[in-house]
Amino acid sequence: MNKVTVVGSGFVGATVAQYVADKDLADVVVVDIIEGMPQGKSLDLMEAAPLAGHDCEIVGTNDYAATKGSDIVVITAGIARKPGMTRDDLLKINANIVQGVARETVKHSPDAIFIVVTNPLDVMTYLTWKTTKLPSSRVIGMAGVLDSARFQAFIGMETGFSVQDIKAMVLGGHGDLMVPLPRFSSVNGVPITELMTADRIEALSKRTRDGGAEIVALLKTGSAFYAPGRSVAEMVESILKDKNRLLPCAVLADGEYGLKDVYIGLPAVLGREGLKKIVELKLSGAESAELKKSADSIRENIDAMNKLLVTA
C-alpha cells in the first residue's frame, strides 16, 4: 500500500487525509505538534471507513518517526489567514514552521515527493525545496489546481453549465497576482470567450484572484479547506497512479516562459516520479507580462524570507 504523510491536522490537513483515504489511494499518517488532535481526527476517519468503503489505515501521531518511508509528504502546517491578513503576512511565522517540518520529514522519507500547501504557497514551496535539497521535480506546490477549480466553479455559476464540462487554467503565484487564462478555459471545448462577455470574464477572473479572501471574510475565524483538500488529493492521485495529468502547479521554472529560479504556477504533468514536464503555452504579450509580474512578486517575498531565516 502507498503511504502518504500529512503534516498538520487542521481543517486542510484533515480534509486531505479524508479525500486521500476516500479515494483509496494510500495509508495516511497525520502529524501535528498538538497532542491528541491528529489521533482524534484519525480515529474519527477510521470509524468512517466502513461507510466510505475503503480499507486504508489512518494514523494520527506527534512523532515524525511514524512517517518513515512515505511516498508523498503533504505540508499543510502553519497558521491560517485571518480577516484582513494577506497571504504574505503569513511569511515570517510559516517560514519557520515549514522549514522545521521539511527537515524532519525528509530525514524519515528521503525518497518522498513533497506537496506544499502552506501559505504563502510559492515561497513555502521554494523553501521546502531548499531545505530538503531534493530534486525540484519532487517538490511541488498546490495552488493552480485550486485556483483553476475556483475559476471553473464561478464560470459554472455564471453560465449555468455543468462544472463537469468546464475546464480552466490559472497560472502564476497563489495570490493577488495570479493569472487566469480565459483563452485556455472552455465549456466542453468551447472557449468561454465565445460564451461570455469580456467584462463578465474579467469579473470572474477578479473573483478567482480574491477567492480565498472571500471565504476568509465569510468564515471570520478560518480559511478554505474543502477545495484545497480536494485539490491535493487530485495531485496525489495523479502521482501515485502515474496518470500524467496536466495540472497547474507551483513548480521550479528553469527557462520556461522566460522565467528562471522561481517557484510559480505553470502547467505541469504529474506522474509517479513527481513533475514529469512543464508544458509551455503560447501566451499573448499581456499574459506573459502578467506572469512575469507575478514571478517578480514571488522573488521579492523569497528575498524577504531569506532575510528572516538564518538558513534557507
- Give per-residue pLDDT as tens, 5-20: 999 999 999 999 999 9
Beta-carbon contacts of 28 under 8 Å, excluding residues fewer than 6 positions away, are 3, 4, 5, 6, 17, 20, 21, 42, 45, 56, 57, 58, 59
pLDDT band at 84 (very low <50, low <70, confident <90, very high): confident
pLDDT recorded at residue 312: 42
Question: Above 70 in pLDDT, residue 83?
Answer: no
Question: Above 60 in pLDDT, residue 311?
Answer: no
pLDDT higher for 207 or 176?
A: 207
Four-residue CA torsion sign, 225, 181, 247, 95: negative
Catalytic residues: 174
pLDDT band at 88 (very low <50, low <70, confident <90, very high): low
pLDDT band at 175 (very low <50, low <70, confident <90, very high): confident
Q: Structural domains in the chain?
A: 3-141 (3.40.50.720), 144-306 (3.90.110.10)
Question: Above 60 in pLDDT, residue 279?
Answer: yes
pLDDT recorded at residue 168: 97
Digit-coded pLDDT (tens) for 108-162? 999 999 999 999 999 999 999 999 999 999 999 999 999 999 999 999 999 999 9
Digit-coded pLDDT (tens) for 210-257? 999 999 899 988 889 999 999 999 999 999 999 999 999 999 999 999
Question: Above 70 in pLDDT, residue 79?
Answer: yes
pLDDT band at 266 (very low <50, low <70, confident <90, very high): very high
